[in-house]
Amino acid sequence: MGDLKALLEQREREIIRATLAEFGGHQRRAAAALGLLPSTLCEKMKRLGIPGRTSREPDDDFHENA
């Protein structure tokens, strides 16, 4: 059996990628589905090498001037 940490990271990477795909890359919705804060999802994505938005882009459920 391989290194437990590596196996857990690989599984976490798979779950996050699948959830992002399910929500069309929408990180806020994926985070909610995973029970995470969007900032926590972003940190996990960085740690696991999952590409995502590098700058703040408005989500379709967030409006600066609303």
CATH of the domain at 23: 1.10.10
Question: Looking at 13-61, which runs of residues are DSSP E strands?
Answer: none
CA distance 24 to 46: 18
Cα distance from N-terminal residue to C-terminal residue, the chain: 53
* Domain annotation covers residue 14: yes
* Domain annotation covers residue 22: yes
Domain hosting residue 39, numbered range: 8-47
* Domain annotation covers residue 15: yes
Mean predicted lDDT score pLDDT of the chain: 85
Record the pTM: 0.76
pLDDT at 47 over 80: yes
pLDDT at 34 over 60: yes
| Residue bearing the bigger pLDDT, 49 or 1 | 49
Q: Which one-letter amino acid corresponds to residue 53?
A: R
* Domain annotation covers residue 52: no
DSSP 3-state assignment of 50?
A: coil
* Domain annotation covers residue 37: yes
* Domain annotation covers residue 56: no
Over pLDDT 70: what percentage of the chain?
Answer: 76
Place of tokens 């703040």: 56
Give how many domains the chain has, as a whole number.
Answer: 1
pLDDT at 41 over 50: yes
Contact yes or no for 29/23 (Cβ under 8 A): yes
